[in-house]
Structure 1
């Protein structure tokens, strides 16, 4: 005969199975039934109850129900603190999960506090080189990378990598995951050769550990494709993206989000190659797939909306682009809030579009909003190391130049140039373009002074 506790245990296991199969509605039903049983049998603060509350938090986060996830995590955390203590590993794991959730919500200060608390607790409980400690180090690296704090991110990744290599060896999947993260970081820093080395190492390791068609292998194949595109190796890029797409279609099916992400990557590649018709087909396929699989306001859906808007913008279809950007903006505001960096990226893009349309007042309003938001989210000292924020500064320079506000334009161009010099080096194409813009502004000011000088004497 199955006891009540055994029944709840079975329900939880069934919920875990459904969760692993992406059957989230079925998983929720199992977790809810288990939770009600545990609450009745053991009370609201029993560890079995709290573990199920924690599982529901994970589930709600996967569904994008972030407020509900936060309530579950907060309940679990308060229960673990009461039952186990502040420094118990179950408590710290939930603290770490709250950090990840706050990061998703754009609550960056709260997220960093949770990660730092989890890290300090795990260092004390397990030591600095325990794999659970290293997992939180890696999460901090991801957090700093998202904020544009690339130096801090690199330190975290390097610490995690050295720890994993010591604990697990150079070819363990946790080691390889961090190698892959370092590849992403180096790509963001414009260190494309170093990024390629990381991706190649990760790819060889995944192929050895998991095989050529495992999803972790395919993710790195896709990353390599994106890198080759940035390096201008478009044929190699297409081969990688096609390999990733075929693998994901086989592993997950044509409508799975991982498959659709690669479809979107191919759209970006075709866009870079000037194959705009093929690019539009890929974006449309990805958009329709994400709308069906994830819903119209899911992050992946909104990112694809933005990519399609960028394509129409490039094609000069400005009205169509504006509609898509407005849809993306409304979605991000609903999903992340007004001041999240992803929201601000769309605000900045809209400002650039309005500038192209000659709507200078609207353009200035959008770009000022974006810059003020970046300064608030990232801090003044980090804005000049964050590429999207630098683009907002650059866009404001263009707008001021179009308005004839030459001093303000020069200030913005100079500020953007200083930031891009730090990120990309003084000889980068971006810095050369900004140098030209600054020289043009100086020449315009000189010409104005020459023109006005007779009137002033």
Structure 2
């Protein structure tokens, strides 16, 4: 009787701990989330056993918290254990716990720079979604898009384009051709096409994305709008259309400034490219403040000795020498 009562009390404590975990992660209280997940895991092992399905949730939260803290190997250990439990229970990748676990494992491997393993996991996840009796088309589009971007980074352009085109078609069917998800899919496709040297096709995709994103004024859309405008600017600049490129770079900076209360690190490349363009036009006085801004962002984000920071500093110093008259 006492054992049953103790077990029931411990089970309730486990459930209360689990209920607290999502809020801790959402509020970015990482250390508290990991500690609470660890405590829930210990209780769960005591109540349910070391291989119980109930353990996957605290293990997932532990892994997510550790990833947020930059502890990739510790995160992978917790995530791998959760995956082993879920796979053993399911015997197939359609087990409902597995998609989120595979996504988290892929994020951990990607953060650690292991793109081959990340790609393998996304392929496995996509195959699992496709085998479901009632496939989640939104999830399939998301995973196909992520896999396409990864393959694009690995210079596997043909397969990347096919996957991103599939992601776009599915996204348009699920959310609509003028939706924010469709704009993001167009941006992703355009980015990979540009990297593969398909400038005209890339520009068309990016212009379509920009057209959708400029229809509204939602703050959440401005970050991706800025990136699309920047990428399109690099394409038109390469074709010699300097004035159009300058306008796009400036619009990208405005979008970045409207996306967050503080200037994001993603603004840095646009500041540098616009500075380079203005220098090429002979407008050195306008370029120097842009380099200064980019330099301050780089120093805050990467540190004063990072190669990117040093490169921006070199641009700034070269521009200052061009501005200063030669000594007599």
* Interval containing the TM-score (normalised by the shorter chain): 0.7 to 0.9
- Other-structure match for 1:4: 13
Structure 2's unaligned 5+ residue stretches are 1-8, 238-243, 319-328
Q: CA, structure 1 residues 45+170, in 2 after alignment: closer, same or farther (shift >3 Å)?
A: farther
Q: In structure 2, what is the Cα distance between the partners aligned to 1:266 and 1:193?
A: 24
Q: Is the Cα–Cα contact under 8 Å of residues 63 and 76 in structure 2 kept in the other structure?
A: yes
- Other-structure match for 1:254: 262
Q: In structure 2, what is the Cα distance between the partners aligned to 1:159 and 1:141?
A: 9
- Other-structure match for 1:244: 255
Segments of 4+ in structure 1 off by > 6 A? none
| Pairwise CA distance, 1:154 | 0.5
Aligned with 2:51 (options 42, 45, 56):
45
Q: CA, structure 1 residues 36+261, in 2 after alignment: closer, same or farther (shift >3 Å)?
A: farther
Q: Is the Cα–Cα contact under 8 Å of residues 63 and 79 in structure 2 kept in the other structure?
A: yes
Query: Aligned pair 1:219/2:229, yes or no?
Result: no
- Other-structure match for 1:432: none
Q: Is the Cα–Cα contact under 8 Å of residues 180 and 202 in structure 1 kept in the other structure?
A: yes
Match of 2:177, SS state, is: coil
Q: How does 1:279-358 map to 2 (within 5 A)?
A: 279-290=290-301, 305-312=306-313
Q: In structure 2, what is the Cα distance between the partners aligned to 1:200 and 1:96?
A: 30
Q: CA, structure 1 residues 184+126, in 2 after alignment: closer, same or farther (shift >3 Å)?
A: farther
| Pairwise CA distance, 1:48 | 3.7
Query: Structure 2-normalised TM-score?
Result: 0.77
| Pairwise CA distance, 1:89 | 3.2
Structure 1's unaligned 5+ residue stretches are 318-457
**Deviation per CA, 1:338-376, whole angstroms, max 9, x where unpaired?**
xxxxxxxxxxxxxxxxxxxxxxxxxxxxxxxxxxxxxxx
| Pairwise CA distance, 1:3 | 3.7
Q: Is the Cα–Cα contact under 8 Å of residues 180 and 221 in structure 2 kept in the other structure?
A: no
**Deviation per CA, 1:402-440, whole angstroms, max 9, x where unpaired?**
xxxxxxxxxxxxxxxxxxxxxxxxxxxxxxxxxxxxxxx
Query: Structure 1-normalised TM-score?
Result: 0.57
Q: Is the Cα–Cα contact under 8 Å of residues 288 and 316 in structure 2 kept in the other structure?
A: no
Q: Is the Cα–Cα contact under 8 Å of residues 11 and 34 in structure 1 kept in the other structure?
A: no
| Pairwise CA distance, 1:314 | 5.7
Q: CA, structure 1 residues 118+76, in 2 after alignment: closer, same or farther (shift >3 Å)?
A: same
Query: Aligned pair 1:64/2:70, yes or no?
Result: yes
Q: CA, structure 1 residues 81+180, in 2 after alignment: closer, same or farther (shift >3 Å)?
A: same
- Other-structure match for 1:278: 289
Higher mean displacement: 69-78 or 111-120: 111-120
Q: What is the aligned length?
A: 296
- Other-structure match for 1:102: 109
Q: CA, structure 1 residues 13+121, in 2 after alignment: closer, same or farther (shift >3 Å)?
A: closer
Q: Is the Cα–Cα contact under 8 Å of residues 11 and 33 in structure 1 kept in the other structure?
A: no
